[in-house]
Every structure is written in structure tokens, then in C-alpha cells.
Structure 1
């Protein structure tokens, strides 16, 4: 394992100087690498700023201590850079992918996505990865010469494939897309600027994906405890966390609860990051890739957890699902949020003129599917607070989205 200050680039890293380029062929920068430019374009986008007021996992609270999509994204970026640095990957690309991975999420966390996916069932569904691609290639309108952010091929590939190949070698959808197919937005763009959907993504994208899992586990534990949905000692039901708590309590007996929580959470992150680095070093040594392309065609994920840590990750998520995401108090709030999204969708599809001019433009006489997709784009881009404001203006009464 390389020390934190020892920066290097391994043969299997993506080289910004050898990027496959941009769809619109922007000129090079004299001061920044291509992947640094991608990172900067993402940070300065409207969609990135809106993450500040979008729910992470849906727990709506007063106060500023609970994660939003933005704070989660920053945590993922920090972890992704740490992993990339130790493995000799390009840190800037890993960071760009971490910063962009949640751009396609709706207001109200997964509740909003589930509602829009159901409402769009007859029009191609709704998928946050496909939506993120639409945002960075079409919906961001900032540049004089093109729509989107015109990101490099490597960033777009990682954005779409960070969780693995979308299709097999015969083009059949796999994993999460096996049942309903790959979203049309991804297939359409792939025909324009092929992303090699049957291969794995780069090591940098794999680092960003596993960083997302680590950040989720750590901050959901933290936020769930802050919300009072379960206690610290309840977490002893998970062997991995019980071991860490025993370590904390043995070293700091009688420690006050907030400090005890922090000591637990930071150990979760540290152990998981160290596991990923050690495991990935072994896999990379075994596979011996000599290029980023070798990583893509390795036939398996090379950056990830060991079997033991993967089991611990599943145990944490298995605990949080019923005790946090499906906690009765949270479910009640999710039901209200679902109603808000459905109300907005119904109103705007029936009356597109109720949307702002930039969103209703060109919809006179448009077919149902085109109207529905425009409405989904508009709602998906809303922050929680804006969705509540719009709903209140249109319907007069809006649910109070707080745990009760």
C-alpha cells in the first residue's frame, strides 16, 4: 500500500493525455488535464449545485447535521480519491466520477425515483444513471456551441458503467437491467458515442462505485443513530460492527454517545477503505493489467471488497433496510413524498403550460411520451424544497415531510 502522500500512476490507470476525447472536440487546456476539466465542469454545473437541497436516504429533519445528496457526494469523492491514490489510478477521474454519480437523482431520495419510474412505465421508465447521462449530455445548457457538459469518453463511460457491464457480449441486458432492458437514453447515446456497454469500466470508475458503498454504510449508520431510529447497542447484531464497538469501548470505556458514534463510524470507513486497497492490490497483481483497457476487459471487477468485507457490507445494508429505510416513521414520510411527486406529474402532463417557459417550450401538440419525458426531466431536477413550494402553489395543501 502506497503512503497517502506518494502520488503515482500505474500502467492500469487512465491517462488523461491519451483520452478518447469529447463528443464535441473541445480544445485542450494549457493548465489542466482532461479529467481535471471534467471535474471542474461537473462542480460548476447547475445539477451539482442542486444536490445541496436533495434528500439522500429519505429521512427529513430539521437541522443541518443530516446528509444531503451533496454532502454524500463530497464524502464519496474523498474516499474515491484515497482509493485511487493508493492503487495508482488517476485521482482526478475518480473524483469526477464520484462527483457526478448522483446527478440524476430526484427530489425525496429513492422515493422520488421509484415514483417517477412507475409513472414513466409506459414511456421507458426512469433510471437515475440514465438521467445523469441525460443531464451531462443534453439537459445542462451552459455552453454556446453545444448542450451538455461535453465530458470525456472516460468520464461518460464510468458514469454509465461504474457498477459493471450493462449488457453481455451478445448485447443482452444484464444485472439490474435484465428484466426491463437498458434505458433508452443510454442506448441512444451509445449509438452516437459508443461506450462499450459489454465491458467493465475503468479502475477509476470501480473505485468511485465502491467508495459510494462505503460512504452509504457509514453515513446511514450515523444518520440513523442521529434520527433515533435505532441505538448504538442495537448495531451489535452485526458482527463487523460489534467487533468495532468492542474495540471502541475497550479503549474508551464510558465514552459519551456522540463520540462513541463517531469512533464507530470512522472505523467503519477506515477498515473498509483499507480492505478495498489490500484486496484490489492483490487482484491487480494477479490480473497484471498493462493498461486501462486491460482493466475493462478483465472480465471481473478488480477494485472492490474482499469476500469477508462484502459479507459485512451486505449485513449492514440488511440491517438498515428494515430498521431505517423501511422504519414505520420513515415509510409514512415516504408515502407523503410519493404523493407530491405523483401530484406534480399528473398536473404537468395534463397541463404542460403549468411548467416554466423553458420546460413547456415546443410541447404544443407533442405526443404523450415526449410530454411525459419532459415532465420527468423537470421534476427530477427539482430540489426537495422547490418541489414542496411548487406543490403548495398548485394544490394549496402540501404534506409536512417530517418524522412524526
Structure 2
């Protein structure tokens, strides 16, 4: 393995700046972590997020967030939070910019479809796909024998980008005895995963990954509600009524099941609605938009400041890096973030699950996997056709096809389907 010829950033050691494949020495003008961040910024995978669904699809209106704008907001929130805790800001920034790279067309709806068609080869998980992109698929660095190693990031940046550091079915057990459905690595990416996790406690995320995860939760919980209010799908004044708060709490428990009680969730609704910047009425005017933006800014500060204070109270001052500490999130912050997630889920995401459009999106991706598998040599993009040709068995070939479909944007998935499938193509492998 190779260490850049620059001094390790404060708090980090030689192992943290190692890369999976040894690269020629670089100038000392940038730290290894600054170089990692630049590689994400210039990646094609990041650019594609601009045309991928966050909650409302790209083109829904000029206000709604795409997966890319969400990612940039997560990076800003994470960088500031990480810096306040003494993490290297570029490591956190890199992890935040990378955290959604593996998401397929049509957001979590597309993830569901690809998981179903790949259930026989270990399934599909956006977080595991992110690691695959960073270490294999994104074209940047190759070994002399022609093996692609993706962006070849440092160990610290790769570890920080791994939200779920375990393989499928090997995650931590919950208090109720259930295992985690999420995972961060496919079986055939295990070698690089073992390398990036050298010296790390099993099933434990480094603090930079925890900061990234919290920044993601804070950003999408707040911003999804902002988008829903702007689009007229949510009226926060109604949420405080007994009937609607029960709906929200039930949705929170069904979809997210946070480690706080229903009573805490109910209290969180009261606490949020009592804030003087809580937007109970939105009229669409410029002043109304300003109040809405002020609410989102204030909530982000509220959640991040609460976590930063609690973390410092437990672990003290000074840099907190890698496995020196954990992010401490107060129960009140967990409850309030969960309520915001529940509001977006209740009024935007859950109602559309059986919508004809969303069923159609899942069928489109299922169709594409079937057709591309059958016509791989002529239908896949060149880089994926090469992978398909080198694949040693049917399982690996199917994974290559899923890699191709996952790389598409919402628009390109629709275009590919119209061009290659037509209206009468079947929807099963």
C-alpha cells in the first residue's frame, strides 16, 4: 500500500492516508484528504446525481431538490459539524459527497426494484453500490495489469464513506432481536472492505461516518419537509391535530422505528410547533419563502448544535477522529428528526407507494435488467460490456447488468427503456 508524500493531517496516522493501490508520488500542495475530495467532485457518478430522484423527481418543479443538491447540502452540514468536533473536514466532506453515489434511478423506489431482481445474488443496496463505485466502477485509477480500483481513495475516506460497515446479514442485532436490513458491502467487494477496515472495531463506524450519517438525516428530514411545504403537500398547522399527529407517529414507527418512545415523538411535535420560527402557514410569497428557509436553517443548527454539545460533554475538547469517539445524539434530537421524517413520509412518500407511476418505474428497471442481460454484448455501455465479457459465471454477469442499470439517471432509464424494451417486453428474468 502507498502513503502520499505529504504529512498526515492532524490527528491521523500513516495507515489512514494509505491507498488500496500505490500511486506515483504527488506534489505536497494538497493533503491526501483534499485529493480524495477533489476526486469525488470531478467524478461522473457525482454529476449523474443531478438527474436522479431525491423525493420529488427531477423536473417536478424548479424548487425541489435532486439527489445532487441534497448531496451538496449534506456535505455542507457534515463539513461544519465535523470541523466542530475536530474531524478532518475533507474526510467528512468526501464521505458526504459520496454517500448517495450508489443510488439508482427513481430513488428508493428504484432501489426496491433492483433489490428484487438481484435477490439471488445478494440483493441490491445503495450503500454497498457506493463502495463498489468508489473502489471498482468509477473510472480513475487502474493497476498495471488493467484492474480498475475506482477512485482509489485513502483508507480514512473510504471508511468514512461506509455507512454500514458489514456484509449482508452480518450487521448488528437490534434490541428486539432483529438484524439490520441495511448493509454496506457486497460479497465480491469483501477484499477491499477488509483492507479499508484494518484495525477498525467490528460493526463500528468511525466518527467521520457517524457525522456523515447525522448530516444526511438532518438534511433530508428538514429539506424534505421544506420541499413538501413548498409543493403544497404538507400543512404544518394540521400536523399538530390529534388525528394527524397519530398518523405521523404511526408512520415514524412503521418506517423508521427510532430508539425513542411514542410519547417522546408526541412531545417532539409539541416542541417543534412551539418554535417561533415554525412555519404554520405558507403563502408562496417571497417573504413566505424566506420564513420557510429560515425555519430550515434554524432546525439544522438546532440539531447539529445539540449533537455537538452532547458529544463534547462526553468526550471533551480536542480533535475527535476515526475511533476516538462516537457522535452523541440527544433523544430529543432523535425524536424531532424522526418526526420530520415522519411528516414527509406520511404526506409525500407513503401515499405514492402504490401510485401507478411508481409501479411503472419499478417495472421499467426490471424490464431493463432482463433485456440488457439478454443483449449484453450489444446493449451495454462499453465499460460494462467489457465487465460482462470477463465475468466468470451468471451471477457475476447479472451483477454487471445491475451495475449498468444503477448507473443510469431517471431520464436515461426512461430513454433506454423506450428504445430497447417497448411496451410489450416482459418484466421478469
TM-score range, shorter chain: 0.7 to 0.9
Q: 1:260 to 1:235 in 2, by over 3 A?
A: farther
Q: 1:227 to 1:21 in 2, by over 3 A?
A: same
- Alignment of 1:377 onto 2:375: no
- Measured against aligned partners, the alpha-carbon deviations of 1:100-134 in whole angstroms (never above 9, x if no partner) come to 11111111100111110111000111111111111
RMSD: 3.1
Match of 1:320 among 344, 363, 367: 344
1:3 aligned residue: none
Match of 2:87 among 86, 89, 96: 89
Deviation at 1:192, TM superposition (A): 4.8
Q: TM-score, normalised by structure 2?
A: 0.78
Q: Distance in 1 between matches of 2:103 and 2:306?
A: 29
Q: Distance in 1 between matches of 2:220 and 2:195?
A: 33
Q: 1:377 to 1:274 in 2, by over 3 A?
A: same
Q: 1:91 to 1:219 in 2, by over 3 A?
A: same
Listed as ranges, the gaps of 5+ residues in structure 2 are: 1-8, 246-268, 425-429
- Alignment of 1:278 onto 2:276: no
Deviation at 1:38, TM superposition (A): 0.5
Give runs of aligned pairs for residues 393-404 of structure 1, distance below 5 A: 393-396=419-422
Match of 1:73 among 59, 71, 74: 71
1:210 aligned residue: 214
- Alignment of 1:190 onto 2:193: yes
2:372 aligned residue: 348
Deviation at 1:203, TM superposition (A): 2.2
Match of 1:23 among 7, 20, 23: 20
1:231 aligned residue: 235
Q: 1:58 to 1:233 in 2, by over 3 A?
A: same
Deviation at 1:249, TM superposition (A): 7.4
> Quick check: 1:13–1:204 contact (8 Å CA) kept in 2?
no
> Quick check: 2:40–2:94 contact (8 Å CA) kept in 1?
yes
Deviation at 1:234, TM superposition (A): 2.9
Q: 1:363 to 1:17 in 2, by over 3 A?
A: closer
Which structure is richer in relative contact order (CA contacts within 8 A, separation 6 or more)?
1
- Measured against aligned partners, the alpha-carbon deviations of 1:17-72 in whole angstroms (never above 9, x if no partner) come to 66341111222431111111100011111111111111112445433311111101
Give runs of aligned pairs for residues 288-299 of structure 1, distance below 5 A: 292=321, 294-295=323-324
> Quick check: 1:348–1:355 contact (8 Å CA) kept in 2?
yes
> Quick check: 2:91–2:160 contact (8 Å CA) kept in 1?
no
Q: 1:204 to 1:328 in 2, by over 3 A?
A: closer
Match of 2:127 among 117, 129, 134: 129
1:401 aligned residue: none
Residue range with higher mean Cα deviation, 112-121 or 171-180: 171-180
Q: Distance in 1 between matches of 2:180 and 2:219?
A: 27
Residue range with higher mean Cα deviation, 26-35 or 13-22: 13-22
> Quick check: 1:19–1:153 contact (8 Å CA) kept in 2?
yes
Deviation at 1:276, TM superposition (A): 1.6
1:142 aligned residue: 140
Q: TM-score, normalised by structure 1?
A: 0.82
Q: Distance in 2 between matches of 1:341 and 1:203?
A: 35
Q: Distance in 2 between matches of 1:215 and 1:330?
A: 26
Match of 1:303 among 316, 319, 327: 327
Residue range with higher mean Cα deviation, 41-50 or 355-364: 355-364
Q: Distance in 2 between matches of 1:110 and 1:318?
A: 16
Residue range with higher mean Cα deviation, 210-219 or 24-33: 24-33
1:53 aligned residue: 51
What secondary structure sits across from 2:151 in the alignment? Answer: coil
Q: Distance in 2 between matches of 1:367 and 1:18?
A: 35
> Quick check: 2:58–2:66 contact (8 Å CA) kept in 1?
no
